[in-house]
A and B are shown apart, each in its own frame.
Chain A
Amino acid sequence: MALPIEEIKKLIISSIPDATIEIKDLMGDNNHYSAIIKSKMFNGLSRIEQHKLVYKSLEGKMGNELHALSITTEGK
């Protein structure tokens, strides 16, 4: 099952409203993505905590519908 880019963005924005998101579809198959996400909410958090915020925003889809989303997070 694939998840389109716009859907991923929408999910992330709903939990992290100030997020700046760049997503690349690595293989052009709606299934292998890489994302760079910047948000003030990441400031002061460890990388693990930052990634957990993103995973939580994806409501359990990570590791299921969304197999391959590599994430880079940065504060703002």
Chain B
Amino acid sequence: MEIKEKIKNLIDTNEVCLFMKGTPESPQCGFSMAVSNVLKHLKVNFKGVNVLEDENLRQGIKEFSDWPTIPQLYIKSEFIGGCDIVKEMFEKGELKTKLEEKKII
């Protein structure tokens, strides 16, 4: 499967999908850990996709989102942002609102 199709399939079949370094249980980077912790804190069920396992995916997701860094968070196929944006939204209560609007929590 072409990488773009694979990514599209991942974000369409997982309501909350986090492209990250490592896994939610064992993040390999502080930024990935921060976003993973925010989602856990909000008791969100999410799919963690470890980009370190697949170099094609690691490059592919950057092009797909036109975003140069990992982690990247998608909610119901919408790109939400990277670590800075997710943290800022969390601190301002906007992330919780977004998750409620999308009927995730």
Contacts and interface: CB of A to CB of B under 8 A. Distances in A.
Nearest to A34: B84
B97 to A, nearest CB: 14
Contact of B68 (A48, A62, A68): A62
A60 B81 contact: no
Given A60-B68, A63-B68, A48 B85 contact: yes
B81 A48 contact: yes
Interface residues of A, number: 12
A3 to B, nearest CB: 14
Contact of A51 (B31, B85, B89): B85
Q: How many interface residues does chain B have, given as a range?
A: 10 to 19
Contacts of B40: none
B33 to A, nearest CB: 13
Interface string A43-73: 0000110011001000010110000101110
A14 B84 CA distance: 23
Given A55-B68, A63-B70, 16 more contacts: A47-B81, A47-B85, A47-B88, A47-B89, A48-B67, A48-B79, A48-B81, A51-B81, A51-B82, A51-B85, A52-B66, A55-B69, A60-B68, A62-B69, A63-B62, A70-B84
7 contacts: A47-B88, A48-B67, A48-B85, A52-B67, A63-B62, A63-B70, A68-B31
Interface of A: 47-48, 51-52, 55, 60, 62-63, 68, 70-72
Of all A-B residue pairs in the complex, the 4 with the closest CB atoms, nearest first, are A63-B68, A62-B68, A63-B69, A47-B85
